[in-house]
Amino acid sequence: MDVESTGVSDRSTKPATAARIYDYFLDGVHNFPADREAAARVVAMMPSAPAMAKANRAFLRRAVRHLAEAGVRQFLDLGSGMPTQGSVHEIVQEVAPESRVVYVDIDPIAVSESLDLIGDTGRVTAIQGDMRQPRAVLDHPVVLKTLDFDQPVALLLCAVLHFVPDDDQAYGLVDQFRDALAPGSYVLVSHGANEGADASVTSEEHSTIQKVYNQRTATPAGGRTREGVARFFGPAELVDPGIVWVTQWRPQPDDPTDFADDPRLSCVWAGVGRLP
């Protein structure tokens, strides 16, 4: 893939994207001046934003390891973001090297950087796609070549559905993806909360943070309640401990210690469900 076709050229003038703001919060190296400036505005309102991103990423690592250990060998990661240490394919292939992973992101730079990291393995790949167009993702030739939808697939929706604030669109798209999955498939969701659980952030500050994403990136953001997040699972049976604050989902000793005293301050709901 050449530089021009990926839009990687002239990085210093790139507008901010959600993928690269998040990468900055994770101490990543795949971010540009506009991303760092937007991130600084979020941090000014919500100083714990980088810790929230790290807590979310730690959940993703724990949950995909759990799924791999439960026997899942195929992963469709929507809104996969920039490649980072402890990527989904690295974790699941530690458990089962034959595992297949397709990363999907709307951000072309996230996709090209992911492809660089992955190399050409045949089992792991990345495509540019918009999850708001489920058919285009599900029918993508690379997706069809890599994943067998007659077998269980884990659908990963980690910190991405809050970038689809319209309820009809968000529930509709997840229904379409879920309907494409075989029995025994899994749905993983983490999602920004909006019940004002973060006592340190007022609702006015929450809306200012949303404005940063709405004005500076192509992906507006909005949180949901725990009940709102539960709707994404449809008929899936929730794996223990259900939908909980992100740090409470099967915590491990090597997790980041932020929010240990009050998990609500993570401001992120998380859960995993298995389709009957």
250 binds ligand SAM (CB under 6 A): no
Is the C-alpha dihedral spanning 155, 131, 201, 24 positive or negative? Answer: positive
Which residue from 124, 47, 50, 44 is spatially nearest to 83, judged by alpha carbons? 124
Minimum CB distance to ligand SAM, residue 161 (Å): 9
Question: Residue 156 in contact with residue 122, Cβ under 8 Å?
Answer: no
On whether the CB atoms of residues 49 and 117 are closer than 8 A, the answer is no
Closest CA to 275 of 224, 247, 235, 239: 235
- Cα torsion angle, 69, 70, 72, 78, sign: negative
Q: Per-residue contact track with ligand SAM, 209 to 248, x per CB under 6 A?
A: ----------x-----------------------------
**165 near ligand SAM (CB under 6 A):** no
Shortest distance (Å) from residue 276 CB to ligand SAM = 26
Binding track, positions 75-114, relative to ligand SAM; x by CB under 6 A: ---xxxx----------------------xxxx--x----
- The least CB distance from residue 217 to ligand SAM, in Å, is 8
Residues of span 166-205 touching ligand SAM by CB under 6 A: none
d(CA 102, CA 124): 6
Q: Which residues bind ligand SAM (CB under 6 A)?
A: 17-19, 22, 56-57, 60, 78-81, 104-107, 110, 130-132, 158-160, 163, 219
